[in-house]
Amino acid sequence: MRRTVLAGLVAVALGLTGLAGCSDDSGANSANPPAAASSGAGTGVTGTVNVFAAASLTESFTKIGQAFEAANPGSKVTFNYAGSSALATQINQGAPADVFASAAPANMKTVTDAGNASGEPTTFAKNQLVIAVAPGNPKGIKGLADLAKPGIKVALCAEQVPCGAAAKTALTAANVKLTPVTLEQDVKAALSKLTLGEVDAALVYRTDAHAAARDVDDVEFPESAGAINSYPIVVLKNAPNAAGAKAFVAYVLSDKGKGVLADAGFQAP
């Protein structure tokens, strides 16, 4: 009998301890947020953030996306890189996207004018053109005037693309008229014509020449200072993951995001 009573008391004590433990766990989950969400390392957002970004942002935004995912476990950033004009058209036609980062205000304006932006865009970087040439500059190109010389093959971006609009501004300022052998829909495509040996030079952004430094040299020219492109970013109105979109934009604008952009050669806004 004494053993039976003792066993019963032990069982009751263990049961009360278990209830107390359950009560503590429940209180911790409801009163305290996850460490990742409250530590400042991340925002606690999850799910996929679909970012439409100008092609010239490929390297820097890919790095920012990886850092954002590391800071926000459970999140994933996917990118659609292309010419800003093409991206704006896709967004206005209903393509599902959370964030739009354009290489020029003009292309962003087509999205805001259509009512597809949530709030006002924020300029987060600036970029400047250079003349990309083959390593060692075998054609001896020193400025825009050299691009118009007989036998020099040049790749430009199409005028509706920000890098093409900037190139037109710079060429007009230099009073240089040339006929490119190709007009590309984004700056990466223009640069690829050079790296493939199909042209002698390409007007591209400084950041793209920087990213391809092993394969190209770059020539600075003074007229580029009058054709600097500003890069705006915005959360889209019908963003499937609005919380993730806001968090990603905030990360781009943070010191960590600015550091990645500066390392890539972008100028501060």
Each residue of 211-264: pLDDT tens digit? Answer: 999 999 999 999 999 999 999 999 999 999 999 999 999 999 999 999 999 999
Domain assignment present for residue 74? The answer is yes
Domain assignment present for residue 175? The answer is yes
The residue segments making up the domain with residue 212 are 129-226
Question: Looking at residue 44, what is its pLDDT?
Answer: 80
Question: Looking at residue 95, what is its pLDDT?
Answer: 97
Residue 109 has pLDDT above 50, yes or no: yes
208: left (phi over 0), alpha (psi -120 to 50) or beta: alpha
Rounded-to-integer distance, Cα 114 and Cα 112, Å:
5
Same domain membership, residue 220 and residue 150: yes
Same domain membership, residue 170 and residue 109: no
Domain assignment present for residue 4? The answer is no
Residue 46, CB-side half-sphere exposure with 13 Å CA sphere: 5
Give the pLDDT band (50/70/90) at residue 83: very high
Sign of the alpha-carbon dihedral angle for 29, 34, 38, 43: negative
Rounded-to-integer distance, Cα 204 and Cα 189, Å:
10
In 3D, which of 63, 86, 87, 22 has the Cα closest to residue 233? Answer: 87
Domain assignment present for residue 254? The answer is yes
Average pLDDT of the residues in 11-17: 37
Provide the domain count of the chain. Answer: 2
248 contacts 233 by C-beta, under 8 angstroms: no
Distance of CA 237 to the CA centre of its chain: 18
Same domain membership, residue 213 and residue 141: yes
Question: Looking at residue 156, what is its pLDDT?
Answer: 98
User: What pLDDT, in 10s, does the model give residues 17-74?
Assistant: 333 333 333 333 333 333 333 323 467 899 999 999 999 999 999 999 999 999 999 9
For the whole model, what pTM was predicted? 0.82
Same domain membership, residue 221 and residue 245: no
Domain assignment present for residue 154? The answer is yes
Same domain membership, residue 122 and residue 133: no
87 contacts 96 by C-beta, under 8 angstroms: no
Same domain membership, residue 234 and residue 176: no
CATH number at residue 149: 3.40.190.10
Beta bridge partners of 53: 81, 101
Same domain membership, residue 218 and residue 135: yes
Same domain membership, residue 252 and residue 122: yes
Residue with tokens 């900037």: 166
Question: Looking at residue 28, what is its pLDDT?
Answer: 33
Rounded-to-integer distance, Cα 16 and Cα 3, Å:
20
Question: Looking at residue 43, what is its pLDDT?
Answer: 73
In 3D, which of 144, 93, 86, 150 has the Cα closest to residue 116? Answer: 93
Rounded-to-integer distance, Cα 32 and Cα 154, Å:
60
Rounded-to-integer distance, Cα 200 and Cα 169, Å:
21
Give the pLDDT band (50/70/90) at residue 11: very low
Q: How far is CA 150 from CA 177, 194, 200, in A?
A: 12, 17, 12
Q: Estimate the crossing angle of helix 84-92 against helix 105-113, to 10 degrees.
A: 10
Question: Looking at residue 223, what is its pLDDT?
Answer: 97
Domain assignment present for residue 269? The answer is no
Rounded-to-integer distance, Cα 187 and Cα 189, Å:
5
Same domain membership, residue 258 and residue 204: no
196 C-beta neighbours (distance < 10 Å), count: 10
Same domain membership, residue 237 and residue 109: yes
Question: Looking at residue 1, what is its pLDDT?
Answer: 38
Question: Looking at residue 2, what is its pLDDT?
Answer: 38
124: left (phi over 0), alpha (psi -120 to 50) or beta: alpha
Same domain membership, residue 209 and residue 78: no
User: What pLDDT, in 10s, does the model give residues 125-181?
Assistant: 999 999 999 999 999 999 999 999 999 999 999 999 999 999 999 999 999 999 999
